[in-house]
DNA sequence: ATGGCCATGTAAGATGTTACATGATTTA
DNA sequence: TAAATCATGTAACATCTTACATGGCCAT
């Protein structure tokens, strides 16, 4: 296996933390993530874990519930080593950069008539607000649970969302002269 | 053409704002972007513009410099319409969500020995600082140039980077007890 | 028992990446 | 004029997506 893709690395990392698990459980981990940038469909996950197994990065143990047979996967020593080099050896430019699909669209505002510009930005602002509420709730939950790392991850999402919401208000103020009511 | 991909939409948007331009110029737009999340290699761009042309979203005019012959592309009316529906009709969940490769790696810190954890986070902190400096400079330049939209886009990148740097300091403080010197 | 969700896949297809190739143009 | 870089591609390849297929399990 040449080089771990982003999805493969993430999957291997999840397996490392929550092993042993089935491909289906793995999919759920991606699905419930507050930031679902991967569809993590069956068509990607099942072949993926097979690739990982073929490369001996994970190991499968049979797992039967009633009539149905499945496989639970755990990370191997090789896999753990591979995961470490993947984390450390990635292209830092890619890791640091972050693709913001919203910003790309805002940069294209001139192709929209003004009414549609406002409408679009207003919609995005609302969605960001919703995301903010969800993320705050997530932070609160993680605070209860007590795992400092999990809390940090949620905090990261929260800080990002706050920054984006602040930014979209700048956009509204600059482009439309809209003044935003102060935060509660 | 079924549906514009993210790269296709971005390309079409650039063409709309800077037409007419050659595929090579288009590649450069992606390359000089402060956030290069696409390689925008020849192998992606040349077929891409051909797809756009086949779908009549752009139109090509010949363009000769000396011996060499090339094509410059401009957006069509159809293309403009298509671009608008692409902006407005995208999956809002995907547009709002943002994939943070750094956060994914930080979530995997437990698989690293403590020394490597510190080393990795320190490296990322440094890279973020560098990015911050570049982004600040970019904002200053855009401020000089006077285009409010371009300035906003740069501001967006700046706010994001500041948020991430702040976050990575939280990570250092929480995981390693490192106190960060106050910003200048 | 039947309709719906759980769980495991497979097939076809498009998109984007890396690596290669090639001639034109500029620069030392 | 030789070397570097500009500019335009092409080929092979891997990955991921969407859509489909299938059978077990569970609640009504």
**Tens-place pLDDT, residues B96-146:** 999 999 999 999 999 999 999 999 999 999 999 999 999 999 999 999 999
Asked whether the beta carbons of A127 and B96 are under 8 A apart, the reply is yes
Over residues A6-27, mean pLDDT: 96
Region B69-74: mean pLDDT is 93
- Does the C-beta of B182 come within 7 A of strand C? no
In the Cβ-directed half-sphere of B44, how many Cα atoms lie within 13 Å? 13
Chain C bases under 7 Å from protein CB?
7-12, 14-21, 23-26
| Alpha-carbon gap, residue B6 to B8, rounded angstroms | 5
Q: In terms of pTM, does the model score above 0.75?
A: yes
Q: What is the largest CA-CA distance in chain A?
A: 64
Q: A60-110, pLDDT tens digit by residue?
A: 999 877 777 889 999 999 999 999 999 999 899 999 999 999 999 999 999
Residue A184 has pLDDT above 60, yes or no: no
| pLDDT recorded at residue B181 | 62
Beta carbons of B13 and A123 less than 8 Å apart? no
- Partner B, chain A 74-93, Cβ-Cβ below 8 Å: 80, 83-84, 87-88, 90, 92-93
**Comparing A116-120, B5-9, B39-43, which segment has the lowest mean pLDDT?**
B39-43
The CB density around residue A46, as the number of other CB atoms within 10 Å, is: 14
Bridge partners, residue B42, by sequence: none
Q: What is the pLDDT confidence band of residue B183, given thresholds at 50, 70 and 90?
A: low
Find the distance separating the first CA and the last CA of chain A, reported in whole Å: 51
Can you tell me the distance from the alpha carbon of B118 to that of B120, in angstroms, rounded to the nearest whole number?
5
CB crowding B71-102: b at 16 or more within 10 Å, else e: bbbebbeebeebbbebbeebeeeebbbbbbbb
Residues of A (32-51) whose Cβ lies below 8 Å from B? 35-38
Residue A69's H or E segment, with its range, is strand A68-75
Residue B184 has pLDDT above 60, yes or no: no
Quickly state the pLDDT bin for A171 (edges 50, 70, 90).
very high
Looking at the DSSP assignment, which residues form a beta bridge with residue B64? B69
Average pLDDT over residues A118-130: 97
Q: Treating both helix axes as pointing N-terminal to C-terminal, what angle do A148-171 and B148-171 enclose, rounded to 10 degrees?
A: 170
Q: Is the pLDDT of residue B42 over 60?
A: yes
Q: Which residue has the tokens 């939950």?
A: A141
pLDDT band at A2 (very low <50, low <70, confident <90, very high): confident
Q: What are the chain A neighbours of B36 within 8 Å (beta carbons)?
A: 93, 97
Distance CA B61, CA B74 (A): 8
Contact A12, A30 (CB under 8 A): no
Pick the range with the lowest mean pLDDT from A156-160, B32-36, B157-161: B32-36
Nucleotide nearest to B45 (CA to C1'): C16
Whether the per-residue pLDDT at A39 is higher than 90: the answer is no
Nucleotide with minimal C1' distance from the CA of B47 is D9
Nucleotide nearest to A47 (CA to C1'): C9
What mean pLDDT, rounded, does chain B reach? Answer: 93
B182 has pLDDT over 70: no
């Amino acid at each position: 296996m040449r080089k771990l893709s982003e999805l493969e690395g993430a999957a291997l990392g999840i397996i490392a933390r929550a092993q042993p698990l089935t491909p289906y459980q793995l999919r759920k981990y991606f699905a419930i993530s507050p930031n679902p940038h991967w569809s993590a469909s069956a068509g990607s996950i099942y072949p993926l874990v097979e690739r990982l197994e073929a490369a001996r990065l994970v190991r499968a143990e049979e797992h039967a519930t009633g009539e149905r047979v499945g496989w639970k996967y755990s990370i191997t020593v090789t896999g753990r080593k591979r995961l470490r080099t993947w984390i450390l050896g990635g292209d830092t430019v890619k890791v640091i950069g972050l693709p913001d699909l919203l910003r790309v669209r805002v940069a294209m505002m001139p192709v929209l008539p003004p009414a549609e510009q406002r409408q679009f930005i207003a919609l995005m602002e609302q969605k960001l607000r919703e995301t903010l509420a969800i993320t705050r709730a997530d932070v609160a939950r993680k605070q209860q649970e007590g795992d400092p790392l999990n809390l940090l991850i949620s905090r990261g999402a929260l800080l990002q969302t706050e920054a984006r919401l602040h930014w979209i208000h700048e956009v509204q103020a600059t482009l439309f002269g809209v003044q935003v009511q102060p935060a509660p």
